[in-house]
C-alpha cells in the first residue's frame, strides 16, 4: 500500500450510510498506551526514540498481519504528505509537526491508524461511519488485545493505563463522535447545547480537534476524563447524550423548515449556487457552503445531488489534498483557484 | 393607454442596441419651462394649481396629438403607481411625493415624459438608448417647439428661460448620460475619474438622481450649470468627456481581463450563481449582482445569457415593480422573496 493511493482514497469518517449519518459523520475510539520499562516519548533520547520506533513498527506489524496494515515513517516524509494525513484524521497535528523518529500504521480502509512515538508510545484509533459507539469500541479493544500479545503496557492496578498526560490516565480511552449541526447553529442554540454537554464531563471540539474552530458546523464531542471510570461508563455517558443532541438538531431543522423555509432554502441554494459557480474560493468558505449544501441534501430540499460527493469535498478541498491532487506546491491564491475548479468539476458544474 | 400597461412595458433607457450600449445605458435631455404671467408652481394657491394643471394638460395634448401621449394625473394616484413611474424615470421623486394637482404626459414608447407642476410648470424629458446626445437634443427641441405653439414661456432676453431654481436658468436644459462603470469601480479608479469630471462643471449622480447612491455601478453624468452657455456648448462639453470615460472603462476592463481574470470571473460567475439560486434577495444586492452579470455578458465571459433580460431586471426588480407585478402590497421580507423568485424565472433558472 502506497501513501499516494491512501491519500486519494475514501475516508471512513465521511462515508455515507452509517447509522444517523444525516447528522453523525463518524464515531472514533482512541486508546493511549505506553510500553513498560521505557521513558515516555518526550523523554527519549534520539537514539532511544529511533530504536523504540523500529521496535514498535515490528511489534505492530507482527500483531496485525502486514496485509492488514502498512507502516509509514514520519521522519523525512514530505510536509505535503504529513498534511494530507492530518487532514484525513489519520495522524495528529502533533505527530505531523513533531521531531525525530515516529510513525503510523494504517489499514487499507483507513478505519484503523496506530501512531508510534506521539505523546504516548502508542496511540491507536478506529473510525466508523455514523453513530457506532459499541461496535467501534469492540474493534479497538480487539486490536488493542492483539498488540498487547506483543507489547507489555505500563499499567497500574489502581490507576489503570499510565500515560504521558494525566488526563489520559485510567482507560487511556477517548471516545468521540463527529456531528454536523447546522440546524443548531442557524437557530442559535448551539452554545446552549454545548453548555449542557460540558456539565456532563464531555468536551466539544472543532473539525480538527483541540483548539481548532468548528468549521462547516462540524463538532466533535468526546469524554473529557479517562480516570476512575470504566470504558463502558464512558461509552454510556456519550451514548446517552448523543441521542439528545440528535433530537435537538432534528427539532431545529423542523423549526427552520416550518418557520423560516425561505431563509433556510436561501442559505442552501445560495451555497449551491456559489459552489457550482465560484472561480476562486477559500478553504473556510468552502466548509461553510458545503455545510449548507449537506443540510439541503439531508433535508431533501436540494435534490439530485450526491451526498457522497458533498461529504468527500469536506476532505478533498483541504489545502493539503488540493495540492496533492494537483501534484504541485501552490500558493494560497493558486489553491483557491484550484479548489474552485475541483469543486465545480466534482459537482458536475460547467 | 393605461398606466398598468405602461408600467410593465419596456423602458427606453434599458433597451440594448444603442450606440456604446455595453457601457452607456441611455442619454437624456430635460428642459425646464414656465408659463408666462403665472407664479412658479410652489407659489400657486391650490385652486390656481388645479387650474394650471388642467390648462397644461389641454395645451400639451393639443401640442402633441392624443395618440402620441397619454395624460396621468398624480393627485389621487395610488402610491405604488407613483413609485413605479419614479423607478422608470418617467417622473421625479419630487413629483411623486408632492401635493396638489400635478400630472405627467407620457408617450407609448416611454421616451418622452412631460411633467406639469413639478418644481417648474413644465419639465420635458426625452430618453434615448445608448449614447445619442445630438439626436436626443434634437427630439427634445422639436417637442419643445410644438408646446411653445400653445404656451408662452417666461423668457428673458438676457438670462434665457426663467426657472424656479437659479441653477436651471438659461437654457433650462440638463443633458445627462447614464453609464455602467463596473470596470472603474473594480479597479478603484472611479473616484479619480469623477474628480476630473467635476472640474469640467459636470455633475455625477447615482441611478436615481440627486442624492441617491450609485447602485449597480450605474452613474449619471450631466451638466451642472445652465446659465451663460448655449445648448450646443453644454452638449459639446458632455460629448467630449463621455468618450474619455468610455475609454477609461474599456481600459479598466482590459486590465481586469489580463491581470486578474480569475478575480474577474469569480465576481461574474458568483453573481450569476446567486441570481439563479437565491430564494430571498434585497433590492441593493440585486443591483450589485446584476452589474457583475452585465459586465460578464458584455465582456463575453458569461455566455448564453440574454443582455436584454439582465437590463430589464435592473428595473423590474425595484420594490414598486415587484409589487405591481404581484398585484399586491408586500412587506420588505415578502418583496425579497418575490424578487428572488422573479429573477430566477426571468433568467430561466429552476
pLDDT tier for residue A16 given thresholds of 50, 70 and 90: confident
Q: Which of A257, A268, A273 to mutate to test the interface with B (most CBs of B within 10 A)?
A: A273
Asked if A277's CB is within 8 angstroms of B272's CB, the reply is yes
pLDDT (tens digit per residue) in A273-301: 999 999 999 999 999 999 999 999 999 99
pLDDT (tens digit per residue) in B212-232: 666 899 999 999 877 888 999
Asked if B266's CB is within 8 angstroms of A279's CB, the reply is yes
Gap between the Cα atoms of A99 and A82, Å rounded: 13
- With beta carbons less than 8 A apart as the criterion, state whether A155 and A162 touch: yes
Question: Which residue of B lies nearest to A264 if distances are taken between CA atoms?
Answer: B279
Reply yes or no on whether the pLDDT at B210 is more than 70: no
What is the pTM assigned to this prediction? Answer: 0.92
Q: Which of B272, B273, B296, B350 to mutate to test the interface with A (most CBs of A within 10 A)?
A: B273
Asked if A269's CB is within 8 angstroms of B273's CB, the reply is no
Cα dist from A48 to A45, A53, A116, B291, whole Å: 5, 8, 13, 66
Q: Lowest-pLDDT range, A6-10, A103-107, A154-158, B333-337?
A: A6-10
Gap between the Cα atoms of B117 and B100, Å rounded: 9
Using CB atoms, which residue from B265, B280, B340 is nearest to A279? B265
Average pLDDT, chain B: 93
At A317 the pLDDT is 95
Reply yes or no on whether the pLDDT at A184 is more than 90: yes
pLDDT tier for residue A66 given thresholds of 50, 70 and 90: low
Could you give the percent of chain B with pLDDT greater than 70?
Answer: 97
Average pLDDT over residues B309-323: 94
Q: Which residues 244-283 of B have a C-beta within 8 angstroms of A?
A: 262-263, 265-266, 269-270, 272-274, 276-280
pLDDT (tens digit per residue) in B63-114: 997 678 999 999 999 999 999 999 999 999 999 999 899 999 999 999 999 9
Asked if A278's CB is within 8 angstroms of B276's CB, the reply is no
pLDDT (tens digit per residue) in B290-303: 999 999 999 999 99
pLDDT (tens digit per residue) in B170-181: 999 999 999 999
Q: Which of A267, A271, A276, A280 to mutate to test the interface with B (most CBs of B within 10 A)?
A: A280
HEC string of A216-268? CCEEEEEECCCCCCCHHHHHHHHHHHHHHHHHHHHHHHHHHHHHCHHHHHHHH
Asked if B269's CB is within 8 angstroms of A279's CB, the reply is yes
pLDDT (tens digit per residue) in A236-266: 999 999 999 999 999 999 999 999 999 999 9
Using CB atoms, which residue from B262, B269, B274 is nearest to A270? B274
Reply yes or no on whether the pLDDT at B319 is more than 80: yes
pLDDT tier for residue A11 given thresholds of 50, 70 and 90: confident
Which residues, including other chains, have CB under 8 Å from residue A160's CB and lie 6 or more apart?
A169, A170, A171, A172, A226, A227
At A213 the pLDDT is 62
- With beta carbons less than 8 A apart as the criterion, state whether B127 and B30 touch: no
- With beta carbons less than 8 A apart as the criterion, state whether A31 and A118 touch: no
Domains of chain A: 3-253 (3.30.590.10), 261-346 (no CATH)
Q: In chain A, what residues touch B272 (CB-CB under 8 Å)? A: 277
- ipTM score here? 0.90
Average pLDDT, chain A: 93
pLDDT (tens digit per residue) in B41-71: 999 999 999 999 999 999 999 999 767 899 9
At A209 the pLDDT is 64
Asked if B272's CB is within 8 angstroms of A262's CB, the reply is no
pLDDT tier for residue A187 given thresholds of 50, 70 and 90: very high
Reply yes or no on whether the pLDDT at B208 is more than 80: no
Give the residues across from B24 on adjacent strands.
B179
Q: In chain B, what residues touch A269 (CB-CB under 8 Å)? A: 277-279
Reply yes or no on whether the pLDDT at A2 is more than 80: yes
Amino acid at each position: 500500500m502506497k501513501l499516494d493511493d491512501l491519500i486519494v482514497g475514501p475516508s471512513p469518517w465521511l462515508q455515507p450510510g452509517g447509522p444517523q449519518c444525516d447528522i453523525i459523520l463518524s464515531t472514533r475510539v482512541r486508546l493511549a498506551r505506553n510500553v513498560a520499562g521505557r521513558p515516555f516519548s518526550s523523554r527519549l533520547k534520539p537514539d532511544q526514540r529511533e530504536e523504540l520506533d523500529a521496535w514498535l513498527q515490528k511489534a505492530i506489524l507482527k500483531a496485525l498481519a502486514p496485509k492488514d496494515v502498512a507502516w509509514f515513517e514520519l521522519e523525512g516524509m514530505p510536509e505535503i504528505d504529513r498534511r494530507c494525513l492530518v487532514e484525513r484524521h489519520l495522524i495528529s497535528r502533533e505527530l505531523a509537526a513533531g521531531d525525530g523518529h515516529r510513525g503510523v500504521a494504517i489499514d487499507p480502509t483507513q478505519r484503523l491508524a496506530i501512531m508510534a512515538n506521539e505523546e504516548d508510545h502508542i496511540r491507536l484509533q478506529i473510525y466508523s461511519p455514523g453513530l457506532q459507539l459499541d461496535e467501534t469500541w469492540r474493534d479497538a479493544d480487539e486490536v488493542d488485545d492483539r498488540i498487547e500479545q506483543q507489547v507489555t503496557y505500563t499499567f497500574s492496578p489502581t490507576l489503570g493505563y499510565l500515560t504521558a498526560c494525566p488526563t489520559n490516565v485510567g482507560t487511556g480511552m477517548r471516545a468521540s463522535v463527529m456531528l454536523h449541526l447546522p440546524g443548531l447553529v442557524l437557530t442559535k442554540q448551539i452554545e446552549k447545547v454545548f453548555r449542557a454537554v460540558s456539565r456532563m464531563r464531555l468536551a466539544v471540539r472543532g473539525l480538527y480537534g483541540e483548539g481548532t474552530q468548528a468549521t462547516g458546523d462540524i463538532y466533535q464531542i468526546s469524554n473529557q476524563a479517562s480516570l476512575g471510570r470504566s470504558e463502558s461508563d464512558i461509552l454510556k455517558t456519550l451514548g446517552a447524550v448523543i441521542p439528545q443532541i440528535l433530537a435537538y438538531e432534528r427539532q431545529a431543522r423542523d423549526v427552520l423548515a416550518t418557520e423560516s423555509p425561505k431563509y433556510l432554502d436561501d442559505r442552501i441554494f445560495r451555497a449551491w449556487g456559489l459552489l457550482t459557480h465560484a472561480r476562486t474560493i477559500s478553504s473556510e468558505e468552502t466548509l461553510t457552503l458545503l455545510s449548507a449544501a449537506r443540510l439541503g441534501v439531508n433535508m431533501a430540499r436540494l435534490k439530485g445531488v450526491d451526498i457522497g460527493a458533498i461529504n468527500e469535498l469536506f476532505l478533498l478541498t483541504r489545502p493539503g489534498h488540493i495540492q496533492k491532487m494537483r501534484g504541485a506546491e501552490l500558493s494560497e491564491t493558486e489553491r483557491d483557484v484550484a479548489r474552485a475548479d475541483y469543486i465545480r468539476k466534482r459537482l458536475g458544474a460547467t
